[in-house]
A and B are shown apart, each in its own frame.
Chain A
Amino acid sequence: MTGHDTDDGADGPPRKTVSVPDTIELPRLLDFYDLQDADHTRIHEFYDRLREGDLSTTQCGDCGALHFPPRVVCPECTSDDLAYVSLPHEGELFAFGAVRGSGPLGMDTPFVTGVVDLDGVDVQLSARIDGADYDDLAIGDPVALRIVDVDGPADHDRVFYQFAPRGDTA
């Protein structure tokens, strides 16, 4: 402690300054998006397929259960014999809500999140609803998948999904 004294302490004990940086690189765990490659997650195939434009999930090879989110162990029968299957890219709005006021770090508000019933399968997805204001939406509205490329601090391309009112998905 004595090597960096900034005051000789003539009027009291010696004192020094410790600096705290104003800004730091985004801490890894405050980035909401997981690292998505094979070095970091065993469900990387989900992200690999999504990057290619295909929404998919795991299905159990033993009991046939369809999961979402994708798993490495089947929660129905504990089998780890799982395979990826494609999911429909269209569905209907089951519920939706608006985030106004303060959102989480790095997320500008307002925006809409919702729950989408995918067409023809027993899968309900939690997703951001893009391309519409809250007041323009209604339960049952048809929506379609939109792929979102994540521009952020990772050394591989990351991707996620949103849904948007059908007809608004170019």
Chain B
Amino acid sequence: MTGTAAIVGGGHADWGKRAATWKDLAQEAGKAAFDDVDGVTPADVEGLFVGAVQPERFAFQSHVAPLAAELLGIDVTKMISRTELACASGQAALRYAWLAIASGQLDVALVLGVEKMNLGDDHVAETQSGMTNVLDREFDGVNGLNAPAFFSMFAQRHMHEYGTTREQLAAVSAKNKGHAANNPYAQFQQQVDVDDVLDSYPVAPPLCLLDCSGITDGAAALVLTSEEKARELTDTAAYVTGSGQSCMASNSINNLPSMSAWPQATVAAEEAYDQAGIDDPVDELDVAEIHDCFSISEVIEYEDLGWVPKGEGGQFIEDGRSELDGDIAVNPRGGLLGCGHPLGATGVSQALEVYKQFTGEVESARQVPDSPETGLIHNLSGSGSVHSVMTLARDPQ
């Protein structure tokens, strides 16, 4: 490796149930990114990395990275790829772009995450069929379980094994949706409290509707450059200081070692912390965007990212330690619970949020206080088989 890479800006399409196609969303996010970064145009982009999970299933379109290149007028000269890693595709795209830049292969990349998931209210079953195939379709998907039912079993087991409470889970949703209420591109911009969460429809008990992220159309794009190029472009960037990724040899539910823990989150986090020189993440990280596809996910992640001992994640939220003014401000963007979860776009959006927190460009009501300088992003996929963790810093090491 010859260096690192830095986020120098980016932007979003509006997220939600959009009257727009996959191609529309890709163009909106690309434009937002180029509008945001002075000094970078499509002609400057040498590498294009697209996170997209099921365009074949949701938009009947494959070979989407070259399609995005055409839509955004990018003549790719160095490297083009599309990553599919289910819900963790966005950070995977960013990780490959980082590796390409850090190894000296290119200086300027566009990382684009796009997902079109809403096929119309009469066609939700078609989207659910696609989601069902993320595990082993022959032996898991055939049982028809969807994501809420799958993650509800993690909530059930975590409550059973550690005494985590329903109220603690609801507090995660209330916090993150509260942040999303101040995020103009978020799908769910309504403030809710713990009682609202507990009173919402028990879609997959113990999880209620407001414990779940949405089915979301959305896109996000960011410009990633070499350290040298970043210094030319801007005074404030988000430099990648560490990146870890881990996948266990079990994607099917039939082979999960636990339904209350994600050991791979620990492996990926320790790798990233080691690269970044982080000894005490709770003390050293100012802001984190972690994968709260369901409220229980965030509680497990407090533990398995190494912030609290196993079983104490519920107490972490109850004590307010993940609030904006807590020990680590977690999901000031609004998380997946508030922003929705357009699969391939989420990881890109998480990274962009940390950059925007560094530059102070987010809405003041969700700005992490005291000028955050260090951040973390975390993306998981499938049965929790894959976890990616990246650390970022406002100043290069």
A interface with B by C-beta (< 8 Å): 30, 32-34, 68-69, 75, 94-107, 111, 113-115, 123-128, 134-135, 139, 160
Given A95-B157, A97-B150, A97-B156, are A113 and B254 also a contact pair (CB < 8 Å)?
Answer: no
CB neighbours of B135 from chain A (8 A) = 126
Q: Taking the nearest CB of chain A, how far is it from the CB of B248, in angstroms?
A: 12
Q: Taking the nearest CB of chain A, how far is it from the CB of B54, in angstroms?
A: 13
- Of A94, A102, A124, chain B has the most CB atoms within 10 Å of the CB of A102
Chain A interface main SS type? mixed
Q: Decide: B153 and A95 in contact? CB cutoff 8 A.
A: yes
CB neighbours of B202 from chain A (8 A) = 100
CB neighbours of A96 from chain B (8 A) = 153, 156
Which residues from 128 to 186 on chain B have a C-beta closer than 8 Å to any C-beta of chain A? 128-129, 132, 135-146, 148-150, 152-153, 156-157, 160
Q: Taking the nearest CB of chain A, how far is it from the CB of B143, in angstroms?
A: 5
Q: Taking the nearest CB of chain A, how far is it from the CB of B120, in angstroms?
A: 12
Identify B204's interface contact among A30, A99, A125, A160, CB under 8 A.
A99
Q: Taking the nearest CB of chain B, how far is it from the CB of A74, in angstroms?
A: 12
Tell me the bound Cα distance from A30 to B128 in angstroms: 12
Q: Decide: B205 and A113 in contact? CB cutoff 8 A.
A: no
Q: Decide: B146 and A95 in contact? CB cutoff 8 A.
A: no
Asked whether B43 is an interface residue with its Cβ less than 8 Å from the other chain, the reply is: no
Given A95-B153, A98-B152, A98-B205, are A125 and B254 also a contact pair (CB < 8 Å)?
Answer: yes
CB neighbours of B256 from chain A (8 A) = 115, 124
Q: Decide: A98 and B149 in contact? CB cutoff 8 A.
A: yes
Tell me the bound Cα distance from A96 to B143 in angstroms: 12
Given A97-B149, A104-B129, A128-B144, are A115 and B139 also a contact pair (CB < 8 Å)?
Answer: no
CB neighbours of A104 from chain B (8 A) = 125, 128-129, 132, 141, 144, 146
What residue in chain A is nearest B212 (Cβ atoms)?
A101
Q: Decide: A126 and B253 in contact? CB cutoff 8 A.
A: yes
Identify A103's interface contact among B125, B150, B205, CB under 8 A.
B125
Q: Decide: B146 and A103 in contact? CB cutoff 8 A.
A: yes
CB neighbours of A68 from chain B (8 A) = 254-255
Q: Taking the nearest CB of chain A, how far is it from the CB of B134, in angstroms?
A: 12
Rank and list the top 6 A-B pairs by shortest CB-CB distance, nearest first.
Answer: A97-B149, A126-B253, A95-B153, A113-B145, A102-B124, A104-B129
Asked whether B81 is an interface residue with its Cβ less than 8 Å from the other chain, the reply is: no
Given A32-B137, A139-B160, are A99 and B145 also a contact pair (CB < 8 Å)?
Answer: yes
Identify A134's interface contact among B144, B205, B249, CB under 8 A.
B205
Asked whether B259 is an interface residue with its Cβ less than 8 Å from the other chain, the reply is: yes
What residue in chain A is nearest B160 (Cβ atoms)?
A139
Q: Decide: B143 and A95 in contact? CB cutoff 8 A.
A: no
A-B contact pairs, 22 of them (CB 8 A): A32-B142, A97-B148, A97-B204, A98-B205, A99-B144, A99-B204, A100-B201, A100-B203, A101-B203, A102-B124, A104-B125, A105-B128, A113-B144, A113-B149, A124-B253, A125-B254, A126-B135, A126-B139, A127-B143, A139-B156, A139-B157, A139-B160
**Sample of 10 more A-B contacts, CB < 8 Å, known A96-B156, A103-B125:** A32-B132, A96-B153, A97-B153, A98-B152, A102-B125, A102-B146, A103-B128, A104-B141, A124-B253, A125-B254
Q: Decide: A75 and B249 in contact? CB cutoff 8 A.
A: yes
Q: Decide: A34 and B129 in contact? CB cutoff 8 A.
A: no
Q: Decide: B144 and A115 in contact? CB cutoff 8 A.
A: no
What residue in chain B is nearest A32 (Cβ atoms)?
B142
Q: Decide: B255 and A99 in contact? CB cutoff 8 A.
A: no
CB neighbours of A139 from chain B (8 A) = 156-157, 160
Q: Decide: A34 and B153 in contact? CB cutoff 8 A.
A: no
Tell me the bound Cα distance from A75 to B252 in angstroms: 13
What residue in chain A is nearest B256 (Cβ atoms)?
A124
CB neighbours of A125 from chain B (8 A) = 254
Q: Decide: B142 and A33 in contact? CB cutoff 8 A.
A: yes
Q: Taking the nearest CB of chain B, how far is it from the CB of A17, in angstroms?
A: 22
Q: Decide: B129 and A126 in contact? CB cutoff 8 A.
A: no
Q: Taking the nearest CB of chain B, how far is it from the CB of A121, in angstroms?
A: 13
What residue in chain A is nearest B125 (Cβ atoms)?
A105
* Contact indicator per residue, chain B 12-45, by CB within 8 Å of chain A (1) or not (0): 0000000000000000000000000000000000
Identify A30's interface contact among B129, B145, B150, CB under 8 A.
B129
Tell me the bound Cα distance from A139 to B259 in angstroms: 13
Q: Taking the nearest CB of chain B, how far is it from the CB of A105, in angstroms?
A: 5
Tell me the bound Cα distance from A124 to B140 in angstroms: 12
Tell me the bound Cα distance from A127 to B143 in angstroms: 6
Tell me the bound Cα distance from A106 to B142 in angstroms: 11
Asked whether B75 is an interface residue with its Cβ less than 8 Å from the other chain, the reply is: no
CB neighbours of B132 from chain A (8 A) = 32, 104
CB neighbours of A75 from chain B (8 A) = 249
Q: Decide: B203 and A103 in contact? CB cutoff 8 A.
A: no
Tell me the bound Cα distance from A30 to B146 in angstroms: 16
